Amino acid sequence: MFSSRTQRRKKKLLKKLKKSRTKKASELSGSQLAIAFRRFRKNKAGLLGLMLALIIFLIAFFADSLTTFPPLEPMGLSYDYTPYYLPPGTVEGAIATRDTGHLIYYISPDFPFQDGSFETPDFVLSQRWDVEEGWEFVSLLEGQPVIFGWWAARSTGEGILSQNLSSDENIDLLYTQIVFQVYLDGEEPTTLYVFFTYEDGTYSKTYEFNIDGNNTWVRMNEYFYLYPFNMSIREKIRNPVKISFYKDNNGSDILLDYITLYAGEYFQNEHIFGTNWWGHDLYSKLVKGSQVSLIVSIGAIILSLAIGLPLGLVAGYYRGKTDEIIMRITDIFLTLPFYFVMILVIMVLTDTPDLDNLIIELGITAEIIVVAVLVGLGIFGWMGITRLVRATIFQIREMDYVEAARCLGASNKRIMIIHILPNVLAPLIVVVTFALAVNIVAEAGLAFLGFTDASLSSWGRELEDGVRIVSVAWWPVLFPALFIITAVMSFNLLGDGLRDAFDPRLR
């Protein structure tokens, strides 16, 4: 009995030894990076971080197909609108426009509709519209009324939506957005009247827009509903809608350049994380928002690297006066308070009317603030990289292999890029991973303070929205916070794992 026990122990030990020996033999081969990766594979926390980070990246990459509701918020809904937030798990129907990026309005049992009537449509689309099919531009002649609607679209091919709508039975043209530019030729400020009428004259509605005469070009987004919700398709077909534009109430004409109309479709889905204060699906907004958060933080790091890496290389390699100058610039940047400068920059950006015009003319829509945040984070994030690279190069350039390369006729540029740079890479990877987490938090922080784009959602922005109603609803705060925490934690774990893998002292 005794001997069998020792035998078993011996076997166990031998097995262990065999395992460890093979491991060591394999650990010796390959480059520094290969060894580091092999070490990293054993680090469970690091692997978890990598997995979470990958999941977050995948979510951001496939955000468009992962969203269950159109994540962007409707604009111009100031009338007949009351805030509501639905708890997680609520099923809701919605109308998506043909441009999947744009949602017209949700239909829900407690939809604050004036006549209060609602009926679940008996048709549900199996697929959504492609974005490519989204915009329709139709130029209008002066004074000519536009007739469009189900009937018009199907039968005649005249009017606006004829091409794409003609074949699809399931289109529900409940709402439409009209974007138009009005050329006023330097006239006084005026009011534009838009009339909606059914062909048979049973329905009519008027909207007014105030146009500032100083701006010759006007961009307007307004949402109109053409039919009441309880109207059947047959009725809709019988009632094409006529839209006419007039300069005043009496029906004098106005020149309209183009008009854009969206067709809507109905679908029904569950709000997995509930909705936010505005009634938007939180899950979809967070998934879509991960794109902004990641693009901003990664873009900022790329910018930081583009600035910090060459500066660090040059400072570390040439030393002396060059180093002195670069390091003092670094110090100056380190003294600037990031948040105050960013707030200042964004306030200037948003308050400059000329800039607004420029943005409109250049066709840049609303992402300017996000770009500003990205650039700001990049410009305030390079100092650490420069310092790290410089310090690492101070060590590396004293190594004999740098001298050897010079002896063998390599130029300064070649030594810097080919011989020194790969040796800086290992610590750099670690720092970049940590910086990623820092940038996500900084972006969220700025978004939380309100410095973000109105039409783009990001995690920080959702959090800010949520905080407003935290006393009545917990989900708009919890889920964005979870996203931020997960992302930051995963990048930190990843960074920790990489640092352990690259640290020669642990080898």
Residues in touch with other proteins (CB under 8 A): 28-33, 320, 399-401, 403-411, 414, 418-419, 422-423, 425
Q: In this structure, are residues 211 and 191 in contact, taking their beta carbons and an 8 Å threshold? A: yes
**Of residues 234 and 321, the one with the C-beta less far from other proteins:** 321
In the bound complex, what is the minimum distance in angstroms from residue 401's beta carbon to other proteins?
Answer: 4
Q: Which amino acid is at 485?
A: I
In the bound complex, what is the minimum distance in angstroms from residue 400's beta carbon to other proteins?
Answer: 4
Q: 3-state DSSP call for residue 116?
A: coil
In the bound complex, what is the minimum distance in angstroms from residue 477's beta carbon to other proteins?
Answer: 47
Cα separation of 307 and 435, whole Å? 15
Alpha helices, H only, 29-153: 32-42, 44-61, 63-66, 150-151
Nearest one of 135, 55, 91 to 487, comparing CA atoms: 55
In the bound complex, what is the minimum distance in angstroms from residue 411's beta carbon to other proteins?
Answer: 6
Count of alpha carbons within 13 angstroms of residue 92, beta-carbon side:
29
**Of residues 361 and 398, the one with the C-beta less far from other proteins:** 398
Q: In this structure, are residues 327 and 312 in contact, taking their beta carbons and an 8 Å threshold? A: no
Q: In this structure, are residues 456 and 439 in contact, taking their beta carbons and an 8 Å threshold? A: no
In the bound complex, what is the minimum distance in angstroms from residue 315's beta carbon to other proteins?
Answer: 15
**Of residues 260 and 322, the one with the C-beta less far from other proteins:** 322
In the bound complex, what is the minimum distance in angstroms from residue 402's beta carbon to other proteins?
Answer: 8
Q: Which amino acid is at 50?
A: L
**Of residues 377 and 501, the one with the C-beta less far from other proteins:** 501
**Of residues 396 and 473, the one with the C-beta less far from other proteins:** 396
Helix (H) or strand (E) holding 263: none
End-to-end CA separation in angstroms for the chain:
41
In the bound complex, what is the minimum distance in angstroms from residue 31's beta carbon to other proteins?
Answer: 5
Q: What are the beta bridge partners of residue 225?
A: 175
Q: 3-state DSSP call for residue 60?
A: helix
3-state helix, strand, coil in the chain (%, to 5): 55, 15, 35
Supply 408's token pair: 């063998």
**Of residues 422 and 450, the one with the C-beta less far from other proteins:** 422
